[in-house]
Amino acid sequence: MARADVRDEDNDGTFGRPWPSSDLIGAASAEVRIDLIGAASYHLRVFNLAGELVLERTMPEVQSMLVEDLVDHLGRMMKVASHRLSLLQGTSQLDPKASLHTLWPPLSDMDLQVLLGPLDSSHVPIDPGRILHVERSDRAAAHAAAELGLSVQFEPGEVREAVYQVKCHHEIVVSTPCLFEHDTWRVERHKADEADAGTLTFAVEEENKRASLAMGFHELIMYYSSVKVVSWVTKDFEHEVLGRASSAELTCRAAKLSGLCKLTVLMMSYWIVVCVSVVSALCLTIVAGSQQNMWQCISLAATLWLPGFVWTYRYHCFLLGRKCVGIGAILGLPVCVLSWCCGVIWLWAPAAVMLWSVLFPLAPSCKLMCLLLRVSGCHSWDPPYPIQTQSFTLYEIYARDLQMWGDAPRVLLVIGMHISSFPPSNDTWSFLDVTVISSSLLSLVFSLVPFRRRLRRETWQYFDETIMELVSD
What CATH code is carried by the domain that includes residue 176? 2.60.40
The Cα 219–Cα 253 span in angstroms is 9
In a domain, residue 16? The reply is no
Residue 18: what pLDDT? 41
* pLDDT for position 315: 93
Q: Residue 9 domain-assigned?
A: no
Is the same domain home to 415 and 270?
Answer: yes
- Give 275: exposed, middle or buried? Use CB within 10 Å, 0-12, 13-18, 19+: middle
Whether residue 311 is found in the same domain as residue 460: yes
14 belongs to a structural domain: no
Three-state secondary structure readout of 133-185: EEEECHHHHHHCCCCCEEEEEEECCEECCCCCCEEEEEEEEEEEECCCCCCCE
Specify whether the CB–CB gap between 112 and 89 falls below 8 A.
yes
Amino acid symbol at 465? E
Distance CA 222, CA 343 (A): 46
Question: Could you tell me which of 336, 344, 452, 464 has the C-alpha nearest to residue 394?
Answer: 464
Domain boundary among 116, 142, 160: 116
- Report pLDDT for 323: 83
Backbone φ and ψ of 202, nearest 5°: -155, 165
Q: Is there a contact between 112 and 45 (Cβ–Cβ < 8 Å)?
A: yes
Dihedral sign of CA atoms 363, 254, 262, 379 in order: positive
With respect to residue 65, please indicate whether it lies within any of the assigned structural domains: yes
Last residue of a domain, which of 211, 240, 255? Answer: 255
Residues 306 and 413 in one domain: yes
User: What's the pLDDT at 278?
Assistant: 94
In tens digits, the chain (473 residues) has pLDDT values of 334 343 344 444 433 334 344 443 344 433 333 344 455 678 999 998 888 999 999 888 888 899 999 998 898 888 887 878 889 998 889 998 999 889 998 888 999 999 988 877 667 778 888 999 898 887 765 555 566 788 899 988 888 776 667 888 889 999 988 888 777 788 888 888 766 557 888 777 665 454 555 678 888 988 999 999 999 888 876 778 888 888 889 999 989 999 899 999 999 999 999 999 999 999 999 988 998 888 889 999 999 999 999 999 999 889 888 888 777 677 778 888 898 899 999 999 999 999 999 999 999 999 999 999 999 999 889 999 999 999 999 999 999 999 999 999 999 998 887 777 654 555 555 788 889 999 999 999 998 888 888 888 889 999 999 999 887 65
Residue 321 to residue 279: CA distance in whole angstroms = 34
Q: Is residue 356 part of a domain?
A: yes
What domain count does the chain have? Answer: 3
Whether residue 423 sits in one domain with residue 318: yes
Q: In this predicted structure, what is the pLDDT of residue 449?
A: 87
Question: Is residue 375 included in any domain, yes or no?
Answer: yes
What's the predicted TM-score (pTM) here? Answer: 0.76
- For residue 58, CA distances in Å to 99, 111, 205, 211 come to 15, 12, 50, 59
Residues 368 and 333 in one domain: yes
Evaluated on CA atoms 452, 454, 457, 461, the torsion sign reads negative
- 417 plus 299 within the same structural domain: yes
pLDDT for the residue numbered 106:
87
Nearest alpha carbon to residue 459 among 420, 401, 378, 410: 401
Residue from 63, 49, 191 nearest 114 by CA? 49
Q: What is the pLDDT of residue 53?
A: 92
Give the residue from 52, 43, 44 showing the smallest Cα distance to 116.
52
Residues 139 and 56 in one domain: no
Q: Based on the domain organization, do 178 and 235 belong to the same domain?
A: yes
Residues 77 and 225 in one domain: no
> What gap in Å lies between CA 408 and CA 412, rounded to an integer?
7
Q: Are residues 73 and 147 in the same domain?
A: no
Answer with the one of 201, 235, 255 that is the final residue of a domain: 255
- Whether 20 is covered by a domain: the verdict is no
Look at residue 267 in the predicted model and tell me its pLDDT. 92
| Centroid of chain to Cα 38 | 46
Domain for residue 4, yes or no? no
Q: Are residues 250 and 264 in the same domain?
A: no
Its domain, for residue 112, covers 43-116
CATH number at residue 50: 3.10.20.90
Give pLDDT, residue 406: 94
Same domain (yes/no): 210, 68: no
